[in-house]
Amino acid sequence: MAKDAIGFALSALNRLAGSELLDRLGMRQGAERLAYRLTKSGFQVITTTARAFKSKGNPDKPQRLHAPGETTDLFDLGITEEQQMIRDSVRAFADDVLREGAEEADAAQRTGDEIQAQARELGLNFFAVPEALGGAAAERSTVTSMLVAEELARGDMGQAVAILAPMGVANALTRWGSALQQDKYLTPFAGEEPPLASIALCEPRPLFDPKQPRTSATRDGDFWVLNGEKSLVPLAAEAELFLVAAATDDGPAVFIVEGGSEGLTAGEDPSMGIRASAQRPLYLKNVRVPADNRLGSDDFDYQAFVDLGTLAWCALAVGTAQAVLDYVIPYVNERQAFGEPISHRQAVAFMVADIAIELEAMRMLTYRAACRAEQGKTFQRETHLARTLVKEKAMQIGTDGVQLLGGHGFTHEYPVERWYRDLRAIGVAFGGLHL
């Protein structure tokens, strides 16, 4: 089958329908959780690398994806048939796989290998890699990535983060990586076993500003030496490749760091929410990386790097908030009190209406910023507006979801308490993913 978007979408639907992995999912979850627990070693572990990244030659120039066609100052809320097919296949996967395994993944604090394998069957990693490098991407599509993130989060935000983290690294390498960096690190993402990868941006300090990282990078001959601490890094103990933000003498920069590098360790500090993403602290102590591993060159835009990651978090929040709304509407219509559904009470009806209204506002601001990013326009202001609204309203939607279920909302038996914990992450998350 040709490596185009429609082909991958149809192939994904066929594979999901006939996959035997779905039948075995229930039998494997317990074993995966047990294996994860047994392999923990104290409070720090050496990060893992499962492959040796090698350049295949001396490519002449990096491959870039360009904005799609002619654009105007207006933004179009319609999506193409191709995008709808991708969205439908991702939604089916989120409903049938992620939603079903969400509680176990949250308890295990990781996304199982089998879930990651099924996510790869969708072929999403191919959409981050240009056709010239073996992928399926012909043009830059921030909107498509946003739709994928939103649909995955409807199933489970924690597992969605774990699935999207490698795509974020691939997208960043496609957008800014040099020819050598793409040849060595990006081409494996178009293979049958793409590497686990993650972006390390956040740091554990109050009022963290991503434009002023305290992690430092000092030039030492043909190497950069990195020192510092990162927090909330998805797949920190499992990733084979990291993009690490650090301060240099000429401003913040991003460095490609291979998992297993000497001086690179992952800590043990379970987060309150999005636990299935296996977020941990990442410690860098005199980690030496080649000078060529500084991401990009003169065209690298650190602010855009941060903003695109922030947009991904906004899309995840929209998807999770949609899951809350979809759950509470039938609940309040079916739950009886004083001889009638509780939705007949104005206080309940107004709360549900407020969730729907704020959710649409979140979605519109996020879509607008993503559309401008896709068109190659400035989108920093729009991203800031989207995040400002989303971090407040998403947390409120999580709170209201728990409130509408009353005592039920405070128990593990119902998913709203997990969505509440997940949505709280939006208030502290910057970057870390990439559209």
User: What is the mean pLDDT of the segment spanning 104-116?
Assistant: 94
pLDDT at 412: 86
In this structure, the chain runs to a length of 435
Please check whether residue 389 is in contact with residue 365, taking contact to mean a CB–CB distance below 8 angstroms.
Answer: yes
CA 14 to chain centre: 25
Q: Which band of pLDDT confidence, cut at 50, 70 and 90, is reported for residue 138? A: confident
Q: b/e string for 395-419 if b means 16 or more Cβ within 10 A?
A: bebbebbbbbbeeebeeeebbbbbb
pLDDT at 68: 63
Q: Is the pLDDT of residue 55 over 80?
A: no
Q: Is the pLDDT of residue 139 over 80?
A: no
Q: b/e string for 105-114 if b means 16 or more Cβ within 10 A?
A: bbebbbbbeb
Using DSSP, state whether 368 is helix, strand or coil: helix
pLDDT at 361: 97
pLDDT in tens, 288-330: 999 999 998 878 999 999 999 999 999 999 999 999 999 999 9
User: What is the mean pLDDT of the segment spanning 389-408?
Assistant: 94
Q: Is the pLDDT of residue 390 over 90?
A: yes
pLDDT in tens, 241-259: 999 999 999 999 999 999 9
CA separation (Å) from 316 to 83, 109, 116?
17, 18, 18
Q: Is the pLDDT of residue 261 over 60?
A: yes
Q: Is the pLDDT of residue 165 over 70?
A: yes
| β-strand partners of 253 | 246
Please check whether residue 113 is in contact with residue 50, taking contact to mean a CB–CB distance below 8 angstroms.
Answer: no
Query: What does pTM read for this prediction?
Result: 0.85
Whole-angstrom distance, CA of residue 17 vs CA of residue 377: 40
Q: Which band of pLDDT confidence, cut at 50, 70 and 90, is reported for residue 38? A: very low
Tell me the two tokens of residue 324: 């809350």
User: What is the mean pLDDT of the segment spanning 231-239?
Assistant: 94
Q: Is the pLDDT of residue 385 over 70?
A: yes
Q: What is the mean pLDDT of the chain?
A: 86
What is the chain's Cα-based Rg?
Answer: 21
Q: Which band of pLDDT confidence, cut at 50, 70 and 90, is reported for residue 376? A: confident
pLDDT at 4: 45
Q: Is the pLDDT of residue 18 over 90?
A: no
Name the more confident of 365 and 25: 365
pLDDT at 35: 42
pLDDT at 7: 46
Provide the 10 A C-beta neighbour count for residue 232: 24
Name the more confident of 325 and 56: 325
Tell me the two tokens of residue 171: 């997208």
Task: Find, among 288, 302, 280, the residue nearest to 209 by Cα.
Answer: 302
pLDDT at 108: 94
Task: Find, among 121, 137, 87, the residue nearest to 12 by Cα.
Answer: 121
pLDDT in tens, 63-94: 777 666 545 566 666 788 888 998 999 999 99
Q: Is the pLDDT of residue 267 over 50?
A: yes
- The region of weakest confidence among 11-15, 38-42, 366-370 is 38-42
- The region of weakest confidence among 157-171, 196-210, 420-434 is 420-434
What contacts 124, CB < 8 A, 6 or more positions away? 90, 148, 163, 167
